[in-house]
Chains A and B, each alone.
Chain A
């Protein structure tokens, strides 16, 4: 660093220190950010400028600030404005000073603030993206409930397009629920699935096999006519897997398999007996 440039930097640091109060107030006013939030930033920046311009601490604070703002739903411009508005606040002080050193120092500080502004913007975008990905995953989890139909019988109603990511999540969740609830029967209902291709079929088949290895039986229900047609034409064989037209049929089947007898299909009377052998 050349000597005049050094003097310019020193002058900026002096302004940072002597005019801290007005600077912070003005900065807060322009950016709309609370003074308390800016005070730490001001402190870190002052230390960095006075020393070897190591901005690690400043970046750390800005990172926190942009992540917090991304979470709270601030716009990217609002977030970047926090940084860029420091320029205007400092410039007013520099103008009041009016000396060459201060003006040269401002040019230098200005470039630095530009860099920090871009950094803030990038951190904000990255945080925003992460939030969106997290939400998509949550949605994936939420949209695939595994429900307990009866003691020992769980069901997973599949709805919507089954891409491989979703099918995998569903199937893992089903297997986990079998373990957690100690269930021996599972119903996979595909009434809400618009198409079953080889990939979906393979996931279904694998799940049934995995469930069997865990000592549980799967029934696939809700195969609608157009799906049945397509599965047959495609050449997929479900082998000895039990399939039922409706979820109700599948439940009745699973109940009878586990020794629960339903009396009179039209009534809601349920008689339970223990299986003899």
Chain B
């Protein structure tokens, strides 16, 4: 299994590259078309949050496996302002930036595992995993 691959998230162009990378790896490990689209969309949301709310950061793209099932893990991290009220940020429709406020909560529903670590002033780290079924 190849190690994680890190990609920067500093511009809108980087967000597009992240989407393309995630789609190709998702197809490689044999995710269904629906699941590919879901993980690509979640990646798009989280990458843009890094760009918009934290001013930039990075993502690690990694193929993972539990015995027979291959999966795809993405770790988004930034050194931005962090999230003070995580429960609130995870609520459908909550936004501090005039968006739809569905990026975080929607991404959680799009993936199989979702882990968010953040504190004010300490940046944000979100790990998501999608397993092939």
A49 within 8 Å of B (CB atoms): no
Our pick among A195, A201, A225, A233 for the contact of B40 (Cβ within 8 Å) is A195
A50-58, A158-166, A253-261: which lies at the B interface? A158-166
Q: Which A residue sits closest to B20, measured CB to CB?
A: A161
For A234, what are the chain B residues with a Cβ–Cβ distance below 8 Å? 41, 45, 102, 106-107, 109-110
Nearest CB in chain B: distance from A230 CB, A: 5
A195 to B106, CA, bound (A): 14
Note all chain B residues with C-beta closer than 8 A to A195.
19, 37, 40-41, 44
> Interface residues of A, CB < 8 Å — how many?
21
Q: Say whether B87 faces chain A, with CB atoms less than 8 Å apart.
A: no
| Cβ-based interface call for A198 (8 A) | yes
Q: For chain B, which range describes its interface: under 10, 10 to 19, 20 to 34, or 35 or more residues?
A: 20 to 34
A227 touches B12 (CB 8 A): no
Please tell me if the beta carbons of B100 and A202 are within 8 angstroms of each other in the complex.
yes
The answer to whether B92 touches A235 (Cβ under 8 A) is yes
B67 to chain A, nearest CB (A): 27
Residues on A with beta carbons closer than 8 Å to the beta carbon of B106 = 198, 233-236
Residues in chain B near residue A226, CB distance under 8 A: 33-34, 36-38
Is A20 in the interface zone, CB < 8 Å from B?
A: no
In the complex, what's the smallest C-beta–C-beta distance from A58 to chain B, in angstroms?
Answer: 37
Other-chain residue from A164, A198, A227, A229 in contact with B102 (beta carbon distance below 8 A): A198
Q: 8 Å CB contacts to A: which residues of B74-109?
A: 92, 99-100, 102-103, 105-107, 109
Cβ-based interface call for B48 (8 A): yes
Q: What 1/0 flags go to B25-60 for Cβ under 8 Å of A? A: 000000001101110110011001000000000000
- Alpha-carbon distance between A198 and B16 when the two chains are bound, in angstroms: 14
CA distance A241 to B41 in the complex (A): 22
| A233-B109 contact, Cβ under 8 Å, with A194-B23, A226-B36 | yes
Q: Which of B12, B41, B109 contacts A197 (CB 8 A)?
A: B41
Contact B40 A236 (CB under 8 A): no
Q: Determine the residue in chain B with the shortest Cβ distance to A231.
A: B41
Docked pose: A201 CA to B105 CA in angstroms? 15
Alpha-carbon distance A199/B48, docked complex (angstroms):
9
Q: Which residues of A contact B19 (CB under 8 A)?
A: 161, 194-195
Cβ of B128 under 8 Å from chain A: no
Contact partners of B20 in chain A: CB under 8 A: 161
CB distance from B13 to the nearest CB of A (A): 8
Chain A's nearest CB lies how many Å from the CB of B31?
11
* B132 CB → nearest A CB, Å: 15
Are A165 and B12 interface neighbours, CB within 8 A? yes
CB distance from B83 to the nearest CB of A (A): 17
Contact A197 B45, beta carbon cutoff 8 Å: yes
Of B33, B37, B38, B45, which one neighbours A198 at CB under 8 angstroms? B45
Chain A residue nearest in CB terms to B12: A163
In the complex, whether A196 has a CB less than 8 A from a CB of chain B is yes
Q: Which residue of B lies closest to A199 (CB)?
A: B48
The reply on B15 being an interface residue by CB < 8 A is yes
List the B side residues contacting A165 at CB < 8 Å.
Answer: 12
Instruction: Given contact pairs A229-B38, A234-B106, enumerate 8 new A-B contacts (beta carbons under 8 Å).
Output: A194-B37, A194-B40, A197-B41, A197-B45, A197-B48, A199-B48, A202-B99, A235-B92
Q: List 20 A-B contacts (CB under 8 A).
A: A161-B19, A163-B13, A194-B19, A194-B37, A194-B40, A195-B37, A197-B103, A198-B45, A198-B103, A225-B33, A225-B34, A226-B34, A227-B37, A229-B34, A230-B34, A233-B110, A234-B110, A235-B92, A235-B109, A236-B106
- In the A-B complex, list the 7 residue pairs whose CB atoms are closest, starting with the nearest: A234-B106, A226-B37, A197-B44, A226-B34, A198-B100, A195-B41, A197-B41
